Structure 1
Amino acid sequence: MDRVTVQVAVCGPADCSPQEERWAREVGRLLAGRGAVVVCGGQGGVMAAVAAGARAAGGTVVGLLPAADRAGACPDLTVVIPTGLGQARNVLIVNSADAVIVVGGSWGTLSEVAHAMRRGGVPVVALGGWRVLDRDGREPPGVRHAATPAEAVRLAFPPDADSGTDDAFRDAADC
């Protein structure tokens, strides 16, 4: 397998604001335009919006559901994977990704940020949502913050990521 399609996890709350929904839809559209496979939790809110944006742009969207069946899957998924793992599926979502984009925030979303940061080696980009502080009140290094969907996608895709391989993401951790 010389060339592997880039997979980008997009995480966010099922109960999101209208702004977060617009952002997620645009992130999905932009990722599909870059040829990335979108990986998400496969349900409502940010997950449904990113799936709709990517699917409308001709992209592929994989949803990893918390339940052991397909009930509750959003309609724009290309591939539905019922995990039966509940919130533990968050680890699978971020471990499946070459980069993680977080839109908005909830407790489940915060867990996905934490798992992605503990994993290391992948860009993690936040568009709105949580800002984590260390014990001294400073933001720890690692999570990049974006102001727009286009900036979030740009920060997730290093300049050489257009090659379509995940090698560009392995080299991107220090961008």
Structure 2
Amino acid sequence: MCGPRDCTAAERDAAHEVGRLLAERGAVVLCGGYTGVMAAVAEGARSAGGLVVGVLSRPDREGATAGLSAAIATGLGEARNAVLVASADAVIVVGGSWGTLSELALAMRRGDVPVVQLGGWQVLDERGEPLPGIRRAAGPAEAVRLAIG
């Protein structure tokens, strides 16, 4: 699950619901482990008894959200986005920021996992058309269905 640390209330609610739905289906939820969308998905997953792993950018656990089951302190800064995406069986993106956009791009470059976008920025080609391959969801339930069936 990817999304910005500074998010709207609607993005927070959507991320919480995605986390809950993923946990109910038995998925282990990976996220960046800090505030905003990351904290909301962790809270949602934990509310349903799920396992949540935070892949942290810092070399320590400072600032990590309390909802994590486990935290991996990488010390990689934004490069941790590659670790997060490479470890995922599917990538759901809620909202948009530069870091979130990098995660979306890395997931698309990977090419072997579903990439689902719920809100956020829309990436367009030179003709102004949405890029193929990104599955756009209208809500949390559809995002989870498109990601893991």
Q: TM-score, normalised by structure 1?
A: 0.84
Identity value in percent: 68
Aligned ranges for residues 1-20 of structure 1 at < 5 Å?
10-20=1-11
CA distance in 1, matches of 2:37, 2:119: 12
Query: Aligned residue for 2:12?
Result: 21
**Cα distance, 1:56 vs. partner?**
1.0
Counterpart residue number, 2:90: 99
Q: Corresponding residue for 1:154? A: 145
Find the counterpart in structure 1 of residue 58 from structure 2: 67
Map 1:1-175 to 2 at 5 A: 10-158=1-149
| Post-superposition CA distance 1:31-80 (Å, at most 9, x none) | 00000000000000000000000011000000011000000100000010
For 1:115, give the aligned amino acid: L
Structure 2 gap ranges (5+):
none
Q: Distance in 2 between matches of 1:130 and 1:100?
A: 15
Q: TM-score normalized by structure 2?
A: 0.99
Code of the aligned partner of 1:101: I
CA RMSD of aligned residues (A): 0.5
Please give the per-residue CA displacement for 1:115-139, whole angstroms capped at 9, x wherever unaligned: 0000111000000001101112111
Bigger-Rg structure (1/2): 1
Which amino acid in 1 is paired with 2:70? V
CA distance in 1, matches of 2:30, 2:8: 21
